[in-house]
Each structure stands twice: as C-alpha cells, then as structure tokens.
Amino acid sequence: MPELLTMQELDTALAGLTAVHKSGTSLLRVRVKAPGFPQAVELVSRVALSAEEMNHHPDIDIRFDKVTFTLSTHSSGGVTALDVELAQRIMMHVDAVGAQALQPAARVELAIDTLDAAAIRPFWRAGLGYVERRGDEGIELHNPDEVGPVVWFQPMDEPRTGRGRIHFDVYVSFDDAPKRVADVVEAGGRLVTDEFAPDWWVLADAEGNELCVCTQ
C-alpha cells in the first residue's frame, strides 16, 4: 500500500504545481477550462490513458469546457506519491490541449465541536454513509464519491455554552474571501470576529448560527 505523504512532503512535491490544489492531505484537485468541449473531451481521454498506464485513476467531472480532476489514493486514505505523479501528468496534458487552470470551486466543510471525537464519529459515519479519512485536524468523514461537505471534529476542553456546536466552513480563494465576507454581511449576517483573518473570518446569521469563511 502506498504511504501517505505528510503535509511538509506534499508541499515540497507540489512546489512547482501551482494549479494543483490540496485539501489537507486528503486529496488533490485540478480544475481547468479548455478552449471548448472537444478539447475538454480530448483532455479527459489523454488523462485516462496516463491513468491506465499508472493503474491509478482520478475522479473526473466534465461540464462543457470545464474539467475537474480529484486525486486521492483511497486504499491509503489520502494523498500519496502516486497522486502527485498523476497530477504532474495531468498538467502536461492541460498544456497540450491549451487549457487554462482555474481556482478550485468553494469547498464546504461541516465542523462539529466535541469533547470526544472518537465517541461521536461512528454515529455520524453511519448516519451519513461516509468513510473515514485523515485530515489536518485528525480523522475526517468524507462522502465516498467526494460530493457533499467534509465533516471534521473540533475538540473542546470543556462543554461550551452560548453558541452552536455545529457550524459550516466555506473555503474560497484568498482573493475572493473579502468579497464573500462582505456579501454575507450584506445578506443579513454579522461579523463575529476577523481576529484570524486572512486565514478565516467568523460570521453569524440573525439567530447566531455561525459560518467561517476560510482561504485555501
């Protein structure tokens, strides 16, 4: 079984691949815009041949001229050297068909505050039909098809009162984050704190339910 890469190893491996975006050490994602639908299909065909040669296959989403490749070594539970190599090959094919790299779409995560993640994680895994994967903050829950929000567990030292125990995190690009925060406030939200900006802002709706706008 291929070994999982540490965050430091992954950052080093991706140093020259600015169009390859990571979600912790769980997965890699490449999102591109091709000149047209035929070129998008050609790109998928080229990547399919490389994947077959490696016997390592990405998840592929094609929508007219936009293609998203999601890479993870499922047997290892995260990103390995195989994913990095396939990402390198994908970028070669992207250049060959004249495609343009895009920022990844916003990523949504659901955070649950807990005193004992191991005690409640099986409940959420069974109820959602998710699988366990290693993430930056410990073991996360992922949809097997990588659709829907990732669920992660935020440890508490003592029971917390006066706020919700579950909140959403939405990850957008660094450049898009300030506008997203402004849009949320304009839509009736309030800024709880920008103490951690530009890494993340904490906002809340009119009833106090919280949303963190985070940069990726």
- Using one digit for the tens of pLDDT, what is the confidence trace for 172-207? 888 888 999 999 998 888 999 999 999 999 989 887
Residue-level pLDDT at 122: 92
The CB density around residue 37, as the number of other CB atoms within 10 Å, is 13
Interacting residues of 65 by C-beta distance below 8 A, sequence separation 6+? 33, 34, 35, 36, 37, 39, 40
pLDDT in tens, 133-171: 877 778 889 888 777 888 999 888 887 776 778 888 888
Confidence check: pLDDT of 6 > 70 = yes
Averaged pLDDT for residues 92-114: 89
- Reference 80, options 43, 151, 134; nearest CA is 134
Residue-level pLDDT at 162: 67
Averaged pLDDT for residues 94-101: 95
Averaged pLDDT for residues 62-68: 95
Confidence check: pLDDT of 3 > 90 = no
- Reference 155, options 196, 211, 202, 117; nearest CA is 117
- Reference 49, options 81, 90, 85, 99; nearest CA is 90
115 or 35: which carries more pLDDT confidence? 35
Averaged pLDDT for residues 86-105: 92
CA distance linking residue 137 with residue 140, whole number of Å = 8
Residue-level pLDDT at 65: 95
Confidence check: pLDDT of 10 > 70 = yes
Confidence check: pLDDT of 79 > 70 = yes
Whole-Å CA distances, 160 to 137, 157, 177: 19, 9, 28
Whole-Å CA distances, 172 to 54, 66, 74, 104: 32, 18, 25, 8
Residue-level pLDDT at 35: 96
Residue-level pLDDT at 18: 86
Percent of the chain at pLDDT exceeding 70:
99
